[in-house]
Chains A and B, each alone.
Chain A
């Protein structure tokens, strides 16, 4: 009789001790990341049937279970993935933003100051100091472009390094999860949940989620399989596949992530990754960094090409004076076309097809890469897709898209090419000229109004549109035939023979002649109003005047207002590019703020289910301590009953 009570007391003591132990375990692990609160499940032992009914047999510890909600855990991991993606992209964008600095330290200001220096050259064309200032500003501008180019290259390299580190971690974690699967499956036979191992696996999955978003499938045998990028397996049961960093097949300078399944390597599309810092890095690399490169590159190409073009239209101070046209002031990276890695190759392994790009109109360039592939609907044509907005143009071989001529040679059906008209322009930007005399400040032509003119018209600017002049040495005359701007022009060669003539109507603010016509490559603008009989003469600049003539320097100044960068002036275009990147950083920052808040909330929800509350544990400690003490009392009573029995029996 007393033994039953004693058994009940002992079992109650054991059960409460187990509960106390579990509470102690909870308190000990309260700050362990990913720990799930455990509790001892107590069950009433089945009663013993007697003639007078069931007599209780105390309590048993049936199991120790962890507080865990599959849904909340999955939510927390996914939210974490998105937050990690947004944060990774934001960090990179912040670095990119430094390339597009504003103010006096910015590229736009350097470009403006370079062109502004032509004011001083125009003021004193023969002054070596003024020329040196232009060269100095040119070197400064070139250094800024080259600096921006190499900063972008470094960012690309940094993305590669971060991707490799992340991929290394992914592989370690995937292996760890596969091992945890194995151990959990092995312990499953014991019939009790392996709480701490399950927590360990959850922890690894949470860490993995920071790097790449995974979806999970419970196999039912205790193992959990993980899939990435819309269904490609990373962990299956007790086996793990490996990630690797590869060159992007479309552009070998960029990186892509591949998953090796057995002997098969499969590139994972950036868009399908969903979340994780790897997705953030890839998105930055494939969108933001490419756009950043193109924005800087378009400015570099437009400024470099326009300045070189204007140089060629002017005359330098090199002897013999009046005959030496300016040579290129800047060198910059040209357009390039990349063959896709899967394009058809010849027996030697070289690509069969190739694409050559030539910038024909620097003013028309777009800040974008392009994809070129065969146009299946028009035989012989090529389909060019502008990647920033998806616009498609079908061109014949040699066609021009956005100021770039595209020549395709030897390409096979199915071949793809990535065209980068401006992407590489900034990196190699440098000043070519060292001799101040090589700057072409003088114009090849000078204009003047005849002494007898009665109108107020004078020549405000004379711009030469081609180099060299179609007919060197020719003199043009513009004679106004009425007071409302009608004029006749003729062009005479050095011997006074008529080469060409024409008529036109001048309107205030419009050039003479009206575009697209030009007279021997030039057009001029008037200040003031001409009257009948007024004559303007445009003749070759005499050799003696070359040293002090500033016509071409003034045309260089006009580049400040030219629609060079996407239909805008350089200053406007740069402000626009700055704002573009700024908006991205801003957008990315608010995305990161939001997804981090969501992740924190999801984690809070998970933690409120699984986490340890110390006040609760303190209460449990008291609760189970008291129960333990009561159980001990039961034991004491049982003992005293036994003693009573023994003493009665011993009497």
Chain B
């Protein structure tokens, strides 16, 4: 076959360009560390990487939801712990009010102390979570959910629990009515007790002067029983918050694992195997060098060189 000089030149040059392009592509991959830079490099891997990225972003979002839930539950748990301490103090005051030697004035002092504790408890019940919500706001409240009203403290929030979405629902709030106002009365099921009503009636009794010792003893005995009942209820809710925190930790581990898996999947799908890539680069480099060398050699050979 005749070799056309111009065509041979053209083909050599385009082959050299091809080799150079391949070398540049290998270099691009090495410098970016990515095997898949555009979908056409490996469509299936690109789609896989895209899915993994979505999972990763989603795990980040779920982590934020979980953090909000954890924050709310930690605050709730500590608020209810604080409430328990306050109730303990109320109980101690009440028990000492049962001392038969105490005068009306001394009982009044204790009643004032209990009233102060009751106001502290109300403040605890209306604590915020630092994110514009009340810990005991249920499914939403725009004002302190537990409010003094004629006839006692009432619940202003929407009943139920707000949830965050961390893949599975985790609580963002507690139903304040059930925690504070609807403690089961063990002596009288299915009636319920309001923490504040219990305290209010104790304070009212202790403030009443000239009561016979038997009535006072009755107030103390009944009061202690009721305080124990509402304290139990508060502790139950505290335990629930603790349970939620345990669950939140478990979910957190799952989310972290999901995120890690997604990262790995993305990396596997689109990242470069460095060893393979470097060897590939060297192969191409050798190929390009060989092409240059043969080109230079062959182009020097011409009959014209010999017929001078």
Q: Does B151 contact A (CB under 8 A)?
A: no
Cα of A587 to Cα of B51 in the assembled complex, Å: 23
Q: Let me know if A527 is at the binding interface, CB within 8 A.
A: yes
Q: What are 16 A-B pairs at a CB distance below 8 A?
A: A102-B50, A102-B53, A103-B53, A112-B53, A116-B61, A119-B61, A122-B65, A458-B169, A541-B140, A545-B139, A547-B140, A549-B139, A560-B58, A574-B50, A604-B4, A608-B2
Q: Which of B1-31 contact A (CB under 8 A)?
A: 1-7, 9, 11, 14
Residue from A576, A612, A615 within 8 A of B47 (CB atoms): A576
Contacts of B223 in A (CB 8 A): none
B163 surroundings in chain A (CB, below 8 A): 460, 550, 554
In the assembled complex, the CB of B106 is this many whole angstroms from the nearest CB of chain A, namely 39
Is A545 within 8 A of B141, CB to CB? yes
Docked Cα-Cα span, A32 to B142, in Å, equals: 86
Residues of chain B having any CB pair with chain A under 8 Å: 1-7, 9, 11, 14, 38-44, 46-51, 53-55, 57-58, 60-62, 64-65, 68, 131-134, 137-143, 156-165, 168-169, 172, 175, 178, 182, 190, 192, 302-304, 307
Q: Among the listed B133, B160, B303, which residue makes an inter-chain contact with A619, where contact means beta carbons less than 8 Å apart?
A: B303
**Is B40 within 8 A of A582, CB to CB?**
yes
Q: In the bound complex, how far is the Cα of B165 from the Cα of A560, in angstroms? A: 12
Q: Cβ of A448 and Cβ of B139 under 8 Å apart?
A: yes
Which residues from chain B contact A583 at a C-beta distance below 8 Å? 40, 43
**B4 to A: closest C-beta gap in Å:** 2
Find out whether the CB atom of A126 lies under 8 angstroms from the CB atom of B133.
yes
Q: A31-B6, A125-B140, A611-B4 are in contact. List 14 more A-B contacts (CB 8 A).
A: A102-B50, A108-B53, A446-B160, A544-B140, A544-B143, A545-B140, A545-B142, A546-B140, A548-B162, A551-B139, A582-B47, A585-B38, A604-B7, A616-B2
Q: Does chain B have a CB within 8 A of A609?
A: yes
- Contact of B5 with A578 in the complex, beta carbons under 8 Å: no
A610–B53 Cα distance when bound, in Å, is 57
Instruction: Give chain A residues whose Cβ lies under 8 Å from the Cβ of B41.
Output: 582
Contacts of A98 in B (CB 8 A): 38
Q: Which has the most chain A C-beta neighbours within 10 Å: B11, B58, B68?
A: B58
Contact B157–A452 (Cβ < 8 Å) = no
Q: Is B307 within 8 A of A603, CB to CB? A: no
A571 to B61, CA, bound (A): 15
**Do A451 and B178 touch (CB < 8 A)?**
yes
Which residue numbers of A lie inside 8 Å of B, CB to CB? 30-33, 94, 97-98, 100-104, 106, 108-109, 112-113, 116-117, 119-120, 122-127, 321, 442, 446-449, 451-452, 458-461, 527, 541-551, 554, 557, 560, 571-572, 574-576, 578-586, 589, 600, 603-604, 607-616, 618-619, 621-622
Residue of A nearest to B5 (CB): A614
Flag if B40 contacts A586 (CB, 8 Å).
yes
Look across to chain A and name the residue whose beta carbon is closest to the beta carbon of B54.
A571
How many angstroms between the C-alpha atoms of A109 and B307 in the bound complex? 70
Distance of A112 Cα from B60 Cα, bound (Å): 11
Q: A582-B40, A585-B39 are in contact. Are A545 and B58 (CB under 8 A)?
A: no
The smallest beta-carbon distance between A47 and chain B, in angstroms, is 34
Q: What is the distance, in angstroms, from B29's C-beta to the closest C-beta of chain A?
A: 15
Q: With contacts A545-B140, A586-B43 known, is A554 near B303, CB below 8 A? A: no
Nearest A residue to B269 by beta-carbon distance? A102
Q: Smallest CB–CB gap between B13 and chain A, Å? A: 12
Pick the contact of B5: A124, A126, A544, A613 (CB < 8 A): A613
Contact B39 A102 (CB under 8 A): yes
- A541 to B50 CA separation, bound complex (whole angstroms): 39
- Docked pose: A124 CA to B129 CA in angstroms: 10
Q: Report A358 CB to chain B, min CB distance, Å.
A: 31
Contacting residues, chain A, for B38 (C-beta < 8 A):
97-98, 101-102, 582, 585
Tell me whether A548 and B132 are in contact (CB under 8 A): yes
Interface pair B6/A116, CB less than 8 Å apart: no
Beyond A544-B140, A571-B51, A578-B46, whether A122 also contacts B5 by CB under 8 A is no
Across-interface contacts of A126 in B (CB, < 8 A): 132-133
Contact of A608 with B1 at beta-carbon distance under 8 Å, contacts A116-B60, A576-B47, A586-B43 already known: yes
Q: Tell me which of A94, A104, A548 contacts B53 (CB under 8 A).
A: A104
Do the beta carbons of A541 and B139 come within 8 Å of each other?
yes
Given contacts A126-B132, A578-B50, A579-B43, contact A448 B5 (CB under 8 A): no
User: CB-CB < 8 A to A615: which residues of B?
Assistant: 302-303
Give the chain A neighbours of B11 by CB distance below 8 A: 600, 604
Q: Is the CB of A575 within 8 A of B140?
A: no
Closest to A461 in B: B169
Closest partner residue, chain B, to A584 (CB atom): B40
Is the Cβ of B182 less than 8 Å from the Cβ of A451? yes
Are A618 and B302 closer than 8 Å at their CB atoms? yes
With a CB–CB cut-off of 8 A, which chain A residues contact B64?
Answer: 119-120, 123
Select which of A31, A104, A572, A619 is within 8 A of B51 by beta carbon: A572
Q: Please state if A446 and B40 are interface contacts (CB–CB under 8 Å).
A: no
Chain A residues near B53 (CB-CB < 8 A): 102-104, 108-109, 112
Q: Shortest Cβ distance from A94 into chain B, in angstroms?
A: 8
Q: Given contacts A581-B39, A586-B40, is CB(A527)–CB(B168) below 8 Å?
A: yes
Give the distance in Å from the alpha carbon of A312 to the alpha carbon of B11 in the complex. Answer: 65
8 Å CB contact of B169 from A109, A460, A541, A544: A460
A127:B132 contact, CB within 8 angstroms:
yes
Smallest CB-CB A-B distances: 4 pairs: A611-B4, A545-B140, A582-B39, A448-B160
Chain B nearest CB from A136 CB (Å) reads 15
Residues of B within 8 A of A460 (CB): 163, 168-169
B4 touches A607 (CB 8 A): yes
User: Chain B contacts of A541 at CB under 8 A?
Assistant: 139-140, 158
Are the C-beta atoms of B175 and A448 separated by less than 8 Å? yes
Q: Give the nearest-CB partner of A616 in chain B.
A: B2
A572 / chain B contacts, CB cutoff of 8 Å = 51
Which chain A residue lies CB-closest to B173? A548
Q: Are B140 and A542 in contact (CB under 8 A)?
A: yes
